[in-house]
Structure 1
Amino acid sequence: MSHLDILLPFGLPPPELARDLLRELKLPALATLIARAKKEHSRREFDDFARALPHEMWLSSQFPLPSFVPANPAPGQDVHNSPALACAAMRALGLPAKQGVWFMLHPAHIHIARDHLVLTDIRQVGLSEADSRELFDAAAPLFAEVDRELVYGDANTWFMRADDWQGLVTSTPDATCGHNIDIWMPHGDGARDWRKLQNEVQMLWFAHPLNERRQMQGKQAVNSLWLWGGSPATASSAGQREVFNLPDGFSGLGQYARAAHANTGAADVIAAKPEKGLLTLDPLIQPALTGEWSSWLEQLQILESAWFAPLLQAMQQGQLDSLSLIITDSSHVLELSTSRFSLKKFWLKPTLNRLLP
């Protein structure tokens, strides 16, 4: 039997704009899949101040990630944490992660709002390899001074070892994006030391020639580092699920799957006939985080023709037996399941109304 789970982050429109946005969409294939699906779970609500977004928590729950929470939390201490992805991400980049506790670091831009600091979408930083290396080489001595091993991963992701910070609670950059960073800053073991080190890096980069060049080019200054994803080094073990198009920051999860495919299209997924597959469609994340709802509408229309229409046709032709839709926003998850049998319910007219709050 061929089954596909489809994770659609930010496919749920914001409640205050939902009816207006859905009125603009022409998505007959997605509307058919939604209308003829059974509801697996009601719309589950998550804490607005959670340290990972609903789609990040759902995706992480599908793989055997190591636990990374304080062993003996104090009364009232927040034990929820960002997914423990650092070591998985290191291995995906060909870096050794055989021992120790590691964190991911992203070069970032923090801007000053009226009375607080806000982390912007890290995708918009757009560092080249050469520019990232320049900032990395400048910051490395500061990490060496406090005996923190710093490792270069790629232009957007570095890694730091801190074995004594196993109680540090962090937040994903997307959960933090657009908000007052004070709420989502790391806390617990090592928080004060990290804040001091982060401040030193910020002061070093403030007048760095690279940032002067970027500002002259109209680009964002790279003025901070965002830390998250703390993970103890553990051996990875492949699972039975076949995964397609894991999103940035989560691509390391592919090592826990039977097979991981990147940059695949609908035809490739259908041809693979996964017994139990997982597909992530993430083009809606960036416009949703930045409130660019016209772009959100455009991306959904592209997904309709590139993905939902071919997948619906594959089900109708018997190439795919069933699929589940896991649709989220910043604080909710809606899960729906459709089979070849349920598609025969012709009396259920295509509609997107299940996406309404």
Structure 2
Amino acid sequence: MQIVLSGALPEPPYASKLLPELEKAAPTLVRWLNQSQSTLQVLDSNQERCTALEYWQLQQAGFQPKPAQHSSAGLGVLWMQSQQNLTLAPEAAVWLGELVHISPSRDGAALIPAADLDISSEDSEALFNSSVAWFEGTGFSAEYVSAQCWRIHPPEDFHARTVSSALVSQSAVNHWWEQDTETRPWRRLVNELQMFWFNHPVNQQRSAEGKLPINSLWLQGGGCAAQFQSAHAAPYQLFTDLEDSLQQQDWSRWLEAWQLLEKNCFAPLQQQPPSVVLCGQSRLLSVNPQPAGFLRKLFASKKNDWKKQWSSL
């Protein structure tokens, strides 16, 4: 069993300054890291177009992008496979329209993904049923899948460089909103839906309840199930307790989350150090226990450089 910690790896220069505080907040984890071998991956977000966690999950599942695809193309299949009782045709491209909130911000437009919007099945179904007619004659059609996402069926020759909503939520929509000719029909459809949803009864009720309106669909995916080569990915336990405070750069709350993880997760594990994956916004630190016995003695002379990798010094 691997432990995966999303939001655990700050970007430089914060990482080096926070390292002494981490050693105090999570001593058990630090002991594991000191007894292990580590590997750092620095991702190009513009190339992968997904978060470090999503990239790791796609790699674990064995996703193989086609030459013209980014890693983010596999997110539609990855999400669908996480749902129960869903069967995917191996060669069928999976595109998802995620219900999101987009609003103006200092740096452009900010996106809040479905996972942070508290969307009920009733709200999603009501929006879906009233919006189906808007897809007619566009070449696109929609299929209800869940409260958070609808499956989108585009024209057969449709291509798009999609990006994950989670990555967009960490920056600005303007940086990722494609303006190419090929995706113009989709952008036109989304603009029409945005206007239709502006005063939709669902959003009026959400506003009355103090919730943000659902005012856009964010397209992602494009890959197919046949591109996933790992039939039995290794199990892992994912902790997302650190994500929000890392994104907000609220380091006091971030360290408090580490203290709770130490108390509730790390300290109770009286065992050989487990494999741990620490995910940041664009970096992955994979930590694996050193071999036991004779091989461990061979590795013992090698300096463990996880602190250097953590701080990117």
TM-score relative to the length of structure 2: 0.82
1:256 corresponding residue in structure 2: none
Alpha-carbon distance in 1 for matches of 2:139, 2:214? 24
Give the AA of the match of 2:149.
T
2:283 corresponding residue in structure 1: 332
1:313-352 to 2 correspondence within 5 Å?
313-315=270-272, 323-339=274-290, 341=292
1:11 corresponding residue in structure 2: 8
Deviation of the 1:195 alpha carbon:
0.7
Task: Go from structure 1 to structure 2 and tell me whether the alpha carbon gap of 1:233 and 1:145 turns closer, same or farther (over 3 Å shift).
Answer: farther
Tell me which of 269, 285, 296 is aligned to 2:243: 285
1:250 corresponding residue in structure 2: none
Give deviations 1:176-231, integer Å, cap 9, x for gaps: 11422122124668411111111111111111122122223222111111111222
1:57 corresponding residue in structure 2: 55
Give deviations 1:290-314, integer Å, cap 9, x for gaps: 4444433232222222322233x12
Give the AA of the match of 2:275.
S
SS at match of 2:33: helix
Give deviations 1:301-335, integer Å, cap 9, x for gaps: 22222322233x122xxxxxx63322221122222
Tell me which of 231, 240, 247 is aligned to 1:239: 231
Residue pair 2:96, 2:152 contacting (<8 A) in 1 also: yes
Alpha-carbon distance in 1 for matches of 2:262, 2:107? 41
Tell me which of 62, 72, 75 is aligned to 1:82: 72
Identical-residue share of aligned pairs (%): 26
Provide structure 1 residue ranges, at least 5 long, that are not aligned to the other structure.
Answer: 71-78, 244-277, 316-321
* 1:297 maps onto 2:255 in alignment: yes
Residue pair 2:6, 2:243 contacting (<8 A) in 1 also: yes
Task: Provide the aligned C-alpha RMSD in A.
Answer: 3.1
TM-score relative to the length of structure 1: 0.73
Residue pair 1:31, 1:352 contacting (<8 A) in 2 also: no
Deviation of the 1:163 alpha carbon:
4.8
Residue pair 2:245, 2:251 contacting (<8 A) in 1 also: yes
Give deviations 1:332-352, integer Å, cap 9, x for gaps: 222222247469x8xx99x97
1:82-231 to 2 correspondence within 5 Å?
82-91=72-81, 92-98=83-89, 100-114=92-106, 116-164=108-156, 167-186=159-178, 190-231=182-223
SS at match of 2:72: coil
Moved more, 141-150 or 221-230: 141-150
Deviation of the 1:169 alpha carbon:
0.8
SS at match of 1:169: coil
Give the AA of the match of 2:109.
L
Task: Go from structure 1 to structure 2 and tell me whether the alpha carbon gap of 1:14 and 1:133 turns closer, same or farther (over 3 Å shift).
Answer: same
Give the AA of the match of 1:10.
G
Give the structure with the larger helix fraction: 2
SS at match of 1:219: coil
Task: Go from structure 1 to structure 2 and tell me whether the alpha carbon gap of 1:356 and 1:118 turns closer, same or farther (over 3 Å shift).
Answer: same
**Which protein, 1 or 2, shows the higher relative CO under an 8 Å CA cutoff with sep ≥ 6?**
2
Provide structure 2 residue ranges, at least 5 long, that are not aligned to the other structure.
Answer: none
Alpha-carbon distance in 1 for matches of 2:127, 2:144? 11
Deviation of the 1:52 alpha carbon:
1.0
Give the AA of the match of 1:56.
E
Give the AA of the match of 2:263.
S
SS at match of 1:314: coil
Residue pair 1:101, 1:162 contacting (<8 A) in 2 also: no
Alpha-carbon distance in 1 for matches of 2:54, 2:78? 15
SS at match of 2:147: coil
1:45 corresponding residue in structure 2: 42
SS at match of 2:267: helix
